[in-house]
Amino acid sequence: MKYIVIIFFSVVFTFLTISTLFFTKNSFSIGERIEFCTKDGEYNFICIPSKGRDYQMMLDSFEKYKKENNIENNEKVYRKTSKNYLKISHWCKYKISPEWNHECL
């Protein structure tokens, strides 16, 4: 009986630990996320290409934002998501993809 109780509590503890880490880290997503914003933080956009929110949608959204708020054309969009050079498989994306060529805040 003692071993059953120990096993039960260890399973419950493991489940709670994994659940807490899974839901609080906000790192679970299908596909990559690239976050963009203006320097003052008025405009924000998160690109999730696997969900259809791609780079071109961000550019269109930013142009619409500039027209609606009468903002001059020299306003820039910055990337808030930093490059993770430990992900060797993404090096090609970092070099070629236009969304990774924006300055990072």
Q: Look up the domain containing 77 and give its range.
A: 28-101
Considering the domain boundaries, does residue 23 fall inside one?
no
Considering the domain boundaries, does residue 15 fall inside one?
no
Which three-class secondary structure state does DSSP give residue 82? coil
Look at the pTM and tell me if it is higher than 0.75. Answer: no
DSSP E strand stretches across 18-84: 34-37, 44-47, 78-79
pLDDT exceeds 90 at position 41? no
Q: Total structural domains in the chain?
A: 1
CA atoms of 89 and 50, how far apart (whole Å): 17
**Tokens 């924000």 sit on residue:** 44
Q: Are 104 and 93 in contact (CB under 8 A)?
A: no
Considering the domain boundaries, does residue 7 fall inside one?
no
Considering the domain boundaries, does residue 51 fall inside one?
yes
Considering the domain boundaries, does residue 64 fall inside one?
yes
pLDDT digit string (tens) for 12-33?
999 888 777 666 555 555 678 8
